Amino acid sequence: MLQGKKIIIGISGSISAYKSPMLVRELIKSGAEVRVVMTPSASKFISPLVLTNLSKNQVIIEMFDEKVQFGGSWHIHLATWCDAMIIAPASATTLSRLANGNFDTALSVVASALPRSTPLVVAPAMDSDMWQHPAVLRNVIQLERDGVTIVPPAEGELASGLYGVGRLPEMDVLLNSLRFALGAKSPSAGQNGTTDSGGFHSQLQDFQNFSDEYQSLINGTDTQNEKITITESLNHPLISIEDAIEKDTWTVELEFQKLKDSLGHTSKSKLEGKTILITAGPTYEKIDDVRFIGNFSSGKMGFALATEAVKSGANVLLVAGPVSLPTPNGVLRIDVQSASEMYDAVMQHFYKSDVAILAAAVADYSPTKKVSGKMKKKDVGDKLKLELHSTKDILASLGAVKTNHQVLVGFALEATNEIENARKKLTSKNCDLIILNSANKPQSGFGGDDNTITIISAEKEEAFPPMTKNACAAIILEHISLQLHDGE
């Protein structure tokens, strides 16, 4: 796939720029021709001379450097020369430049000049608090909407000495993302520029290619493909988290349509045709390969919401923690284990959702170090001290990036000052509704088939008597449809 390809590597100012020579080397070993463009701050982290030698081409840093740029159109020549561009690492500032059209560096100006059919792959790398900054997430979501292939950063030790998400992924992940973008048949992956302005015919062609592939998948003719068929999917998890991340809007919409057709769905509701993202169940935070920190959530409330939402004609994407419940008919399910996997899956799919209901009991803390293998008692001794770090608050992260057209619903399990605490969550996490469960009521919360809920909005709170989780779900969905703006 990379043999004979012309690749531009963009490098921006992040400590992980020290890995860039390896990327240049690996690409050249794969038979690609490489040119490097870096930002002035990247040149403080890694020597341009090393990159010039490895790539066998003069590295470009400045917009106006006569040694490397002949005439005023050098960026156009370079952008049209390449088959793909990868920016690794992409700093928060470079993400912002690309997402907001501030093309004021040699690197961003080349990215801006890429023809629409040339894939742009961007691998952000930064400290984990920067990565979680709402402005950075907004920019990443914008770039993804613009058709850029984002390679999410990996979790691990960061240059700051902290532990978290923000590392530049391993070389094989970067190379595979580039291969994927070069070979992508979908309209969103591997295409630079927005998908809804121009390029419509090439989207149709892509869609046609995809439909053929999809048809053979449904007919079971593609024996190489491990993915299960639509009919099987009615009773099984449909997509793994890795698949889900690779799936584009076309794929997901087609699958929803197929599922709805197979159910002969007819109902009319304001939720009909809306995409609803639901989280359910606990998360497991690994201590070692056989032990974890978890909680008693059964996932029943989230699964009841998914079941009832399908009945309203909604497209339901269920991100489920480790639970033993069967997938409700007509639901697309992504299985995750940890809080960080749940975060990634939810962030990936939120931008195309009209409603998000976060019913999962996400672990608030996760072990800082995960031991590989099994810890032995003889090595640990009488006392085991675990250092935990806080996980990312998924609900609050969505609240920070949600648009006025999206309805965001959270749950609150409270034991004291219930209404007051739940109301604080409504405001601090920027939700439209909070569903309060009382930890003090017997028919409430984890495990059982019943629940006792109070629905809290900015204007009012409404308490309901104990009822089945399915009945609670139907009431919650009715309240959500009231929050949807007419005509949306």
DSSP tally for the chain: helices H, then strands E: 19, 21
Min separation Cβ 409 and ligand CTP, Å: 8
Angle at 191 between CA 190 and CA 193, to 5 degrees: 150
Q: Which is nearer to ligand CTP, 127 or 393 (CB)?
A: 393
Q: Tokens at residue 13, please?
A: 């100012």
Q: Which is nearer to ligand CTP, 150 or 422 (CB)?
A: 422
Which of 363, 148, 345, 180 shows the shortest CA–CA distance to 252?
345
Min separation Cβ 415 and ligand CTP, Å: 9
Q: Which is nearer to ligand CTP, 109 or 339 (CB)?
A: 339
- CA 108 → CA 9, 103, 144, 336, distances in Å? 12, 5, 16, 35
Q: Which is nearer to ligand CTP, 32 or 453 (CB)?
A: 453
Entry field: residues in the chain: 488
Min separation Cβ 290 and ligand CTP, Å: 24
CA neighbours closer than 13 Å in the CB half-sphere of residue 411: 28
Min separation Cβ 423 and ligand CTP, Å: 12
C-alpha 312/C-alpha 265 separation (Å) is 9
Q: Which is nearer to ligand CTP, 394 or 407 (CB)?
A: 394
Min separation Cβ 396 and ligand CTP, Å: 7
Q: Which is nearer to ligand CTP, 36 or 358 (CB)?
A: 358
Min separation Cβ 256 and ligand CTP, Å: 24
Report the amino acid identity of residue 258: K
Min separation Cβ 438 and ligand CTP, Å: 12
CA neighbours closer than 13 Å in the CB half-sphere of residue 321: 28
Min separation Cβ 156 and ligand CTP, Å: 19
Cα 88 to chain center, whole Å?
18
State the DSSP code for 72: T
In degrees to the nearest 10, what's the CA dihedral of 391, 394, 397, 402?
Answer: 180
| Residues near ligand CTP (CB under 6 A) | 279, 339, 358, 360, 362, 364, 391, 393-395, 410-413, 425
Is the distance from CB of 165 to CB of 155 less than 8 angstroms? yes
Min separation Cβ 248 and ligand CTP, Å: 25
Strand-pair partners of 269: none
Min separation Cβ 385 and ligand CTP, Å: 23
Question: What are the two backbone dihedrals, phi and then psi, of residue 6, each rounded to the nearest 5 degrees?
Answer: -105, 120
Q: Which is nearer to ligand CTP, 223 or 416 (CB)?
A: 416
Helix (H) or strand (E) holding 165, with range, is strand 163-167
Omega before 367 within 30 of 0, i.e. cis: no
Report the amino acid identity of residue 466: P
Question: What are the two backbone dihedrals, phi and then psi, of residue 60, each rounded to the nearest 5 degrees?
Answer: -100, 130
Q: Which is nearer to ligand CTP, 80 or 428 (CB)?
A: 428
Q: Which is nearer to ligand CTP, 397 or 470 (CB)?
A: 397
C-alpha 141/C-alpha 351 separation (Å) is 7
Which of 53, 19, 18, 55 shows the shortest CA–CA distance to 34?
55
Q: Which is nearer to ligand CTP, 172 or 420 (CB)?
A: 420
